[in-house]
Amino acid sequence: MKTKILGIAIIAMLFSCKEDAKMSQKDIQQYTIEQFMDNEAVSGGSFSPDNSNILISSNRSGIYNVYTIPTRGGEMTAITKSDSTSFTARSYFPNDNRMLLNADGNGDEIDHLFVRELDGTIKDITPEEGAKASFYGWSEDEKYLYYGSNKRNPKYFDVYKMSIDDYNSEMIYQDDTGLRFSGISNNENYFALSKSVTRNDNDLFLYNVTTKKSIKINKNQSGNSFEDFSKDNSTLYYTTDDGSEFAYLKSYNLKTQERKTVLEKSWDISGAGFTSQGRYMVIYVNDDGRNVIDVLDAKTMTPIELPDFGDKSITSVKFNDDESWMRMYVGGSNVPSDLFTYNLATKEKYKLTNVLNDEINAEDLVTAKVVRYKSFDGTVIPAIYYLPKEASAENKVPAMVWVHGGPGGQTRQGFSSLIQYMVNHGYAVLAVNNRGSSGYGKTFYQMDDLNHGEKDLQDCVEGKNWLVTQAEIDEDKIGIIGGSYGGYMTMAALTYTPEEFNVGVNLFGVTNWLRTLKSIPPYWESMRKSLYLELGDPFTKDSVRLKRISPLFHTDKVTKPLIVLQGAQDPRVLQVESDEIVAGVRKNGVTVDYVLFEDEGHGFVKKENQIEAYSRILKFLDEYLKNENKAI
């Protein structure tokens, strides 16, 4: 009798679970790509001199334009109204309402600096054709702006000082050796310069303007990054991983040359800097793929209290000049980041944006989960996992292994419209941080040097194998997706492990390393040697290996459906990379969709193009993965 009752109970429980799964699936609303792309992306946040407004960038118009918004909240005012070229906000001028902006040519990465004058006109103040310009900051006396430009020599960036009165500029540092500008002391007596040794290691130099001599700050070869000068010009602060797996904060006394450890964390300190008056130091920590921010009292180095946003994280902060206000971006993996302001005296906070489309219920979106699995050789691989809410052992879902760009990038616990769109439509996503990813210690970061497309690819395959062990995943429906270096990994997976993944999604991925490494933009000259040390030198015997790991030369091995997406203006991964891989795979009779955008570069920033790209991806996955259409 007990057995019968137990059996009935089990049947009832299983029936209930199935009903719950059906209800769960029914209760989760699916959204269109138009609804997801109607989320607003906002960035920047410079306070006006009178603290009444914030200068930001937003893509609410379909491309990025510049807006102002009242510090305590209110309607945005459009500053630029471009319908073709994206403009982004850099900064208000120190003492008036002029605005510094930047823009490139539809993704060609040739950025220029622009001023929005008080009368509303917009002027290009770095008009040299073919030259890049980067804003470095304002002078202490607020009469000049610093910027870098490669107008003299396309390979190197000199430092210029421009008068904000007449926009005339003078060179204050000439680079002929690939030393990258990192910072300048308030009295202009010292420059911080860095030189890339390997992709992980940088030498840091202190350049004395008076003596024209440089001193190397770091004693050992390690990852070193300038962070800031003290306001009294006595101390340089930098992060280093010398003697440690993770970067920590050190100080260097300019007079005594004494080095001291200032702050250590259990993860990388990825950034540090003083506020305008030097009252606070802001510390950024890359905590397992998530931004953690501390604002420290600079005298005591103890954290000040910040507003509590519950399960959301503060991902970025910036103070106004008198340090009475702070702006913050606050979000999570399931919601895009909104802009807030916070008055440090009154403790009042103001929400300035509502970037999640009102038509989308945040409860329908998925919060990322950090998971870890062992790869083929026992190496532990971290990953970010998104599982559809309706997924269960009774309602198995297809999955995609997501590979970040780089090499040396990292998938973070942030919001992605594309990932949430895929998950909302029933696809699990495992974002793999394969060996060679940043953020997990320098040993892990260096593990893929000169073996790209081999051990790191196996990490992705083991990610697929981990998915197979999950009860909610349909083990026969697993694909791979990635952009840039992740696009390369997608093609490597379909080429060198052709039976592991059912489909591939290649967003502007490298397919011919020989060509890519020979054709890197001239303004990457300072990183050329370190790139070759990590990936291989195409002008040496390394070319044999580079050809071996380049999918373009092995397209006959590809047997699974593929979609390729590319921007015609891409200066990093040239269009020919995608043109040729598509042609090569099609010779096999394999299904290949090709989506080319004439007005995009390395990544798609125009909403209409994002809608087209992401909808095409989902349509492809629905046809060739979810519905098991095996036609090729």
Q: For the beta carbon of residue 388, count every other beta carbon within 10 angstroms.
A: 23
Instruction: Place 629 in a pLDDT band, splitting at 50, 70 and 90.
Output: low
Using CA atoms, how far apart are residues 609 and 222, in angstroms rounded to an integer? Answer: 41
Residue 23 has pLDDT above 70, yes or no: no
Instruction: Place 260 in a pLDDT band, splitting at 50, 70 and 90.
Output: very high
**Distance of alpha carbon 229 from its chain centroid, rounded?**
26
Q: Which of 314, 295, 291 is nearest to 303 (CA)?
A: 295
pLDDT in tens, 385-416: 999 999 999 999 999 999 999 888 999 999 99
Q: Which of 58, 74, 525 is nearest to 66 (CA)?
A: 58
Domains of the chain in start order, with CATH, are 362-512+550-626 (3.40.50.1820)
In this structure, the strands spanning 313-319 and 224-229 are unpaired
Residue 6 has pLDDT above 90, yes or no: no
The pLDDT value recorded for residue 521 is 86
Token digits of residue 552: 């373009």
438 to 245, 373, 411: CA distances (angstroms): 11, 17, 9
Token digits of residue 287: 């905590």
In this structure, the strands spanning 87-92 and 77-78 are unpaired
Using CA atoms, how far apart are residues 340 and 353, in angstroms rounded to an integer? Answer: 7
**Distance of alpha carbon 353 from its chain centroid, rounded?**
22
Q: Which amino acid is at 559?
A: T
Q: Which residues contact 48 (CB under 8 A, 6 or more apart)?
A: 54, 55, 68, 92, 97
Q: How buried is residue 240: exposed, middle or buried, by Cβ count under 10 Å (0-12/13-18/19+)?
A: buried
Using CA atoms, how far apart are residues 46 and 320, in angstroms rounded to an integer? Answer: 7
**Distance of alpha carbon 450 from its chain centroid, rounded?**
23
Residue 95 has pLDDT above 70, yes or no: yes
Q: Which of 412, 424, 346 is nearest to 614 (CA)?
A: 424
pLDDT in tens, 547-569: 999 999 999 999 999 999 999 99
Start-to-end C-alpha separation, the chain? 56
Using CA atoms, how far apart are residues 343 and 401, in angstroms rounded to an integer? Answer: 43
504 to 487, 554, 591, 592: CA distances (angstroms): 9, 16, 11, 10
Using CA atoms, how far apart are residues 621 and 106, in angstroms rounded to an integer? Answer: 29
Most confident of 10-19, 130-139, 197-206, 306-315: 130-139
Residue 632 has pLDDT above 60, yes or no: no
pLDDT in tens, 154-195: 999 999 999 999 999 999 999 998 899 999 999 999 999 999
Look up residue 499 and give its DSSP letter: T
User: Would you list the DSSP string of 456-484?
Assistant: HHHHHHHHHHHHHTSTTEEEEEEEEEEET
User: Would you list the DSSP string of 554-612?
Assistant: GGGG--S-EEEEEETT-SSS-HHHHHHHHHHHHTTT--EEEEEETT-BSB--SHHHHHH
Q: Which amino acid is at 176?
A: D
Please identify which residue in the block is written with the tokens 């602060």. 237
Residue 22 has pLDDT above 60, yes or no: no
Out of 66-75, 110-119, 161-170, 216-225, pick the least confident: 216-225
Using CA atoms, how far apart are residues 576 and 591, in angstroms rounded to an integer? Answer: 19
**Distance of alpha carbon 17 from its chain centroid, rounded?**
40
Length of the chain: 632
Q: Helices 485-496 and 455-468: crossing angle, nearest 10°?
A: 80
Q: For the beta carbon of residue 457, count every other beta carbon within 10 angstroms.
A: 24
Residue 586 has pLDDT above 90, yes or no: yes
The pLDDT value recorded for residue 26 is 54
Using CA atoms, how far apart are residues 352 and 341, in angstroms rounded to an integer? Answer: 7
**Distance of alpha carbon 123 from its chain centroid, rounded?**
29
Most confident of 18-32, 52-66, 438-452: 52-66
Q: Which amino acid is at 53?
A: N
The pLDDT value recorded for residue 10 is 31
Using CA atoms, how far apart are residues 616 and 611, in angstroms rounded to an integer? Answer: 8
